Structure 1
């Protein structure tokens, strides 16, 4: 033949192998590549892959939190993608007239507390506990705002769907000095005196084992919410002393909003190693941190998966490869 025919390149497709059963079975580097190449999306993730994304997102954010300059550099990059100039919005940040109680509570939302439907009770190892939070005796009384006080001072409103790609209004909300002060008090509910004996991976494996009904969507929702609070809005400094309770609260809130059937409150508290009272406190506290806006659409979840690849690349390039 005289003509040179070009053979079309074969489109990369996912290789079908046995589904991963443990987090260690997931090659996070290959998973990130598949997400970047649009081979993987929210609808094709295995459960363990979703848990691995949560795990590595948390570990990477904690690393960035230990390098404050890098955290701010990465944050600026992500906000710039959404046409938010950090310096400009700091100068234009909104303020609420503290003399008007009606205005001061307009943006703070509280949903009707959900009821837990019955679920099968699992046998759980009760030795693990996350009960050693920072004692109230170490906090001045006038510095502590309780969850109960926050609920009493809040108007009931519906939980809203938010657009992950348009966060300007949300960013301005978190710049409000009254909201900043409120969130600083709420965060105290998540703090432990020292990191638990269980690593983040062991803790997630515990949840996977004893709360097997938690879905892929719930894990990615939880990851997205934490990413927004810790990175985009710089509200929640993620550390080894608060990450376990943040995991519990984010998964529990996402599960209650997204799932028709979920574990009883007492069972999930046992799984997480906290008392019923502490689970209630961190659950409501997390809702306040999120401004009671939990649910995002499928496009937003897939957008976060792209953010996850950016986060992985940034941490690997600036921290992991430097060591």
Structure 2
């Protein structure tokens, strides 16, 4: 970690992805079982163990049940002014049941929630800072030191493939540029850091991304795929990350086919800058969460049209990736 990270602070105790620390084996009696393709959050409150199936949130987003000891997290970025569906993490603790957190609100098995909240506190180790919350005016990205950590990181370069089916623009190289904003020698606001975050593009694929049209996450395939498809109105892209014991093992991304994209710095009109949005989504992929919308940083939760400035890291973004890698 470079000197850039020294004194780094985080905006609130905000964790949008939960990472399992252990699987609860302490219950002597067999837990009840939930199964099927429409397991509700209300059913999970019974503490039922779930090996397979689909968890359906009240807002309709669906998540393939991850393996015991695994978390799956859905991390969307929206268009400014559109409703925010919220970040979601689903953690299967095994016999303790499933914990669900949607924008910091916990539900599911009480035992699993207790376990995962403790894991969040242990892994986040954040320091509260509310400086940007006292004003609705935008804050300079070079004066804002805030960042949030999701509780996972990669132990090796992210190997990923690109599915061009339905692409609105030629996207592979642009999306990769968004990833590389975080890797190796990075600089922002006159500061520099060298990170071990890394990615490896392995080519094109016909395999579908694991992100669903409703913004949920399907079953893990063990292969990271970036692609295109329909998403809910107002959602520009969604990243799904699977992690075990603090280590990310798969990331899938879907970019919306319902909006108009631009890959040029000469962006104009009602277009969204693909590289800027990709930079945000790869920030999630590497383990960073959202900052305040008015933070001026790459990791704010919504983008405006032609926001090419989101291609460039702010001070808090640099400090965040330096803290993780």
The two structures share one fold, judged by TM-score above 0.5: no
Q: TM-score range by the shorter chain?
A: under 0.3
Structure number having the greater helix percentage: 1
Structure 2 length normalisation: TM-score? Answer: 0.27
Q: Taking structure 1 as the reference length, what is the TM-score of the superposition?
A: 0.27
**Structure with greater strand share of residues:** 2
Larger relative contact order (C-alpha < 8 A, sep ≥ 6)?
Answer: 1
